Structure 1
Amino acid sequence: MIGLLLAAGTSSRLGEPKALIQLGPKTLVERSLQVLQAPFIDHVILVLGAEKDAIKNVFSHENVEMMESKEWALGQGNTLSESMRALASRQEPILVMLVDTPFVQENHIQAIVKAHLANPSQVIISSFQGQSSPPVLIPFEHQHKLYDWKGDKGFGPFWKSHPDICQWISFEEEYRDLDTAEDKKYWQENWDK
């Protein structure tokens, strides 16, 4: 199984690279990579685009494979589809996580993997207090449905178009990503992990 961390965007609303924001002793990218190194995830891949050199300099590359998106400037949908196509030859399930989701913990990844092992042909989607969001686990047999994803399109249209192949897992944590200066302040003031 592959853990895929998307960290290629420009962070235009925040005005600085999200991946390099400090939360406690670690940057957001370091923390996200640590969360992805859960049991049953054999390969962790970090997808970079904007700020790729700065991000590469902040963490140990040990146990992390890096992939550079050529289409990152076109939006998250392009980065996602480009990554899916690039990894198609591996024919493995892919767990997709976003770098700006500091509320995601190791226990969430473990619950998603456990649900996948019980239902290996289902796309496993996280729901945080009713807000559907990555991490999302996509079995190989469904990855081709994302090969033509474009622009800033997230996963929402995917699960709305294919509810029959999707399974949601509910978590009690609130969905609160890190997109704005207000989000950054919130997370830095409330970080205790």
Structure 2
Amino acid sequence: MEAPSPSLIAVILAAGTSSRMGKNKMLLRLGGESMVRRVTRSVLGAGLEQVWVVVGRDSTQVGTEVADLGVRLVENPRYAQGMGTSFRAAVEAFPKDLEAAMFVLGDQPFLTAGMYQAVLEAYRIHRPPLVIAQFGGVKAPPHIFRRDLFAYLGQNKDEGAKKVVAQHKAEAIVVELPESALFDIDTPEEYRRALERIAGGE
């Protein structure tokens, strides 16, 4: 007998080109481990049944970084065309009865398991079409999308889910997270600042 499908999974988007960094930021070392491994461990700490990692650039190396963590790798061969292709790669692989999915950026190393849990808890209590994280005044992933929104994700290959979030924000539950956790790493300067934060104990 096959195991029942999970009702909610997390998808870590780790397939991008890292063009502004000049090298694959998923493989950058942070506190003795790669960024993709650090983020994946935090997501796993939230207690989800399944965590998926969408890989593209350097997919073998990125996959190796998380191979022992029990995650599922989803290959996105079109990753160079934009983030929307990673959303589509995940959605097209979803079980047909999947209830909802939490999408996570692979370059947000200061989000903790507790923060992901807060977003998940908001969904489990209210079951809205959309849960949005807000850091101070900025709305940013992680976001949870209910199944009825899956078809709209990744329709524009160049962008992620901004349009879907904008169109459904009136139906969304917003979860406030610490502003300091919103720290994407896109450039060498941001990487240097991240290393300083970690050296300082974060």
Does 1:99 find its partner at 2:81? Answer: no
After TM superposition, the structure 1 = structure 2 runs for residues 1-193 of structure 1, keeping only pairs within 5 Å, are 1-146=8-153, 148-151=155-158, 153-174=159-180, 175-191=182-198, 192-193=201-202
Work out the CA distance in 1 between the residues paired with 2:83 and 2:63: 20
The answer for unaligned runs of 5 or more in structure 2 is 1-7
User: CA RMSD, aligned part only?
Assistant: 1.6
- How far is the alpha carbon of 1:89 from its aligned partner? 1.9
Moved over 6 A (4+): none
Number of residue-to-residue matches in the alignment? 192
- How far is the alpha carbon of 1:70 from its aligned partner? 2.1
SS in 1 for 2:96: helix
- How far is the alpha carbon of 1:86 from its aligned partner? 1.9
Q: Give the conservation status (yes or no) of the 8 Å contact 1:128–1:172.
A: yes
Residue by residue over 1:135-170, the C-alpha shift from the partner in whole angstroms, topping out at 9 and shown as x without a partner, is: 11111122122152321x133222211223222111
Code of the residue aligned with 1:78 in structure 2: it is T
Q: Give the conservation status (yes or no) of the 8 Å contact 1:32–1:99.
A: yes
Residue by residue over 1:7-34, the C-alpha shift from the partner in whole angstroms, topping out at 9 and shown as x without a partner, is: 0011000011111111112211111111
Work out the CA distance in 1 between the residues paired with 2:47 and 2:150: 19
Distance change in 2, residues 1:17/1:121 (3 Å): same
TM-score of the pair, normalised by structure 2: 0.88
SS in 2 for 1:89: coil
Q: Give the conservation status (yes or no) of the 8 Å contact 1:3–1:41.
A: yes
State the percentage of identical aligned residues: 25
Code of the residue aligned with 2:74 in structure 1: it is M
- How far is the alpha carbon of 1:4 from its aligned partner? 0.5
Code of the residue aligned with 1:172 in structure 2: it is P
TM-score of the pair, normalised by structure 1: 0.92
Work out the CA distance in 2 between the residues paired with 1:144 and 1:111: 25
Q: Give the conservation status (yes or no) of the 8 Å contact 2:15–2:54.
A: yes
SS in 2 for 1:126: strand
The answer for unaligned runs of 5 or more in structure 1 is none
